[in-house]
Structure 1
């Protein structure tokens, strides 16, 4: 059976659980975010502009070109586009810290990117997915409404993020104590959920993973290289380049997986791409961060990319 015709088994209760887990991740990110992070973003306009443009403009465009070069099944191509349009995951902050990167920039960019993703993600998916006849046909088959997706993303990202910001401001001591527990537990829950989802459809996963492996490997490598390359091309310091690398290369594939089951009925290629991305980008990120952690960076310069 072609992968475009495969539908993964996923019940309504599991979908509700995934939404709760994703909301927990966003709540945890917000507990570690403050108004000062957004102010820091204003003090680093060049670095922020580079990172935001790389995420929401260049990565979807480069991903579209990659789908043309690889010519995968339409559902795999649409899954790659979906992941590219997702906001960064909070693990990017951890990886940036481990890699001796600019953590202030990373945290600020994660906060700003997740807010922007509420509006830009549905638009990007609808635009880039419609440029190829095959992927456009998949979008039309589910009658994808950017407005409906906007509402769903706002519910999963916007409300928990706003609630976390409020708690962090009103109860800062409680937020500081709860933040590592919320972030770590929700991240572990997401990884467990992805593994369980793949295990529950193990026969499908093993049958088609060979098709997806190369696409995800190349896509993730391109995303990481794009982030670093943009930092080099725009003259950011090394610590900021590393931060931008992880902000672009680490995507919230768990959110993408939730959208696959919500709007695309668990379409095989999309679900396997998002599920495997959620695991592989962390593995690749840890390897890269480990390599960078052994290399010294030059002393931070008094530039916008090193401030905050």
Structure 2
């Protein structure tokens, strides 16, 4: 059995283009349910949004970096963990937050703002933390990752569909109300199908190497959920907001991670197995939390940091 750092998973160019299209459709679906009011709401809850952005784009990558140094996975696994931590949340976080009895308005706002910021911050974070890692940095140098090129790719599959979706929602509100839910569900199901297809097409590798990453992914995912909840608690936010922030930080867009891994890292073994495992585990953990919280309703409260 080859070392996982030497394995390259296979995903055909046509399949990769289809995955890009599905991810763009997913972002279009998120945007259909996003309004300018979601961004204006940020100004009315500066503390909550500031904590959320810091948790996602500063603390989670930093804690992930520390975790990889502590548990010492192979370089490609470490780089995969860093990449996943730098991904924005997906719209499944809004659904899980709703089921958990959390603040859906905060969740939707965080998803919208985080995806917008990820266009710039994700490639910079991957380049910074990956380049700083003593074992993973040589992989980045060998691949010659260009943050600008990655940023342009993210603009194409996140930024443009997001802007188009918001424009459609603004111009055709009645039609949008009819199609946004089916579009969101269909795009999510398509993404799940493609993640499953990516795993199925490389099933032997996942069977061989899943044991190497499973423990690290579970710990990493649990830390992400705990980080969101803990940051909200330390900021003095109520339980209603803590649940939303926990889910929003815990759910990462592993589909985007797979697109970038196949597109920029040649399907590097450890990275792909980490992203594939994360894509399912974070939803499983999120739904388990939602089930637990749903039985313990949280009072709806006003943000402490919300401006009048």
TM surpasses 0.5: yes
Query: Secondary structure, in 3 states, of the residue corresponding to 1:297?
Result: coil
**d(CA) in 2 for partners of 1:164 and 1:3?**
39
Where 1:98 maps in the other structure, the secondary structure is: helix
Distance 1:275 1:173 in 2: 37
**SS at 2:299 equivalent:** coil
Q: Any residues of structure 2 matched to 1:55-134 within 5 Å, and which?
A: 55-134=56-135
The answer to whether structure 1 residue 266 and structure 2 residue 267 are counterparts is: yes
CA contact (8 A) 2:20 2:157 kept: yes
1:227 is displaced (CA, Å) by 0.3
> Secondary structure at the residue paired with 1:130?
helix
Unpaired runs of 5+ residues, structure 2, are none
Aligned pairs (5 A) from 1:274-285:
274-285=275-286
Distance in 1 (alpha carbons) for counterparts of 2:187 and 2:14: 17
1: distance between equivalents of 2:75 and 2:243?
A: 33
Q: Does residue 163 of the first structure (1) align with residue 164 of the second (2)? A: yes
Structure 1 residues 49, 25: closer, same or farther in 2, change over 3 A? Answer: same
Q: Which moved more, 1:293-302 or 1:149-158?
A: 293-302
Structural mapping, 1:135-154, within 5 Å: 135-154=136-155
Determine helix, strand or coil for the equivalent of 2:119: helix
Structure 1 residue 301, shift from structure 2 partner: 3.6
| TM-score (normalised: structure 2) | 0.98
Consecutive unaligned residues in structure 1, runs of 5 or more: none
The answer for the alignment partner of 2:10 in structure 1 is: 9
Deviations 1:36-85 (A, max 9, x none): 11111111100000000000000000000010111001000000000000
In structure 2, C-alpha distance between the alignment counterparts of 1:58 and 1:19, rounded to whole Å = 28
Matched, 1:20 2:16: no
Question: What TM-score, normalized to structure 1?
Answer: 0.98
Pairwise CA distance, 1:299 = 4.1
What is the CA deviation profile of residues 213-267 of structure 1, one whole-angstrom value per residue up to 9, with x for unaligned ones? Answer: 0011000000000000001111011111111111100000100000000000000
Contact 2:237–2:303 (8 Å) recurs in 1: no
Task: Give structure 1 regions of 4+ aligned residues with deviation exceeding 3 angstroms.
Answer: 301-305
Aligned-partner Cα distance in 1 for 2:138–2:61: 19
Cα distance in 1, alignment partners of residues 151 and 300 from structure 2: 42
**Corresponding residue for residue 181 of structure 1:** 182
2:230 is matched with 229
Contact residue 65 and residue 133 of structure 2 kept, 8 A? no
RMSD: 1.2
Q: Distance in 2 between matches of 1:304 and 1:135?
A: 39
Once the 2 structures are TM-superposed, how far is the Cα of residue 303 of structure 1 from its aligned partner?
4.0
Q: Give distance in 2, aligned partners of 1:27 and 1:302.
A: 29
Change (3 A) 1:228 1:92: same
What pairs up with 1:193-272 in 2 under 5 angstroms?
A: 193-272=194-273
For the 8 Å contact 2:87–2:256, the answer to whether it is kept is yes
Q: Deviations over 1:194-228 (max 9, x none)?
A: 11111111111100000010011000000000000
Residue-pair matches, total: 307
1:132 CA drift (Å)? 1.9
Report the Cα offset of residue 101 of structure 1: 0.5
Distance in structure 1 (CA, Å) of the matches to 2:133 and 2:214: 22
CA separation in 1, counterparts of 2:303 and 2:141? 51
Q: Deviations over 1:106-156 (max 9, x none)?
A: 101100000000000000000000112321111011110000000000000
Q: 1:264 to 1:176 in 2, by over 3 A?
A: same
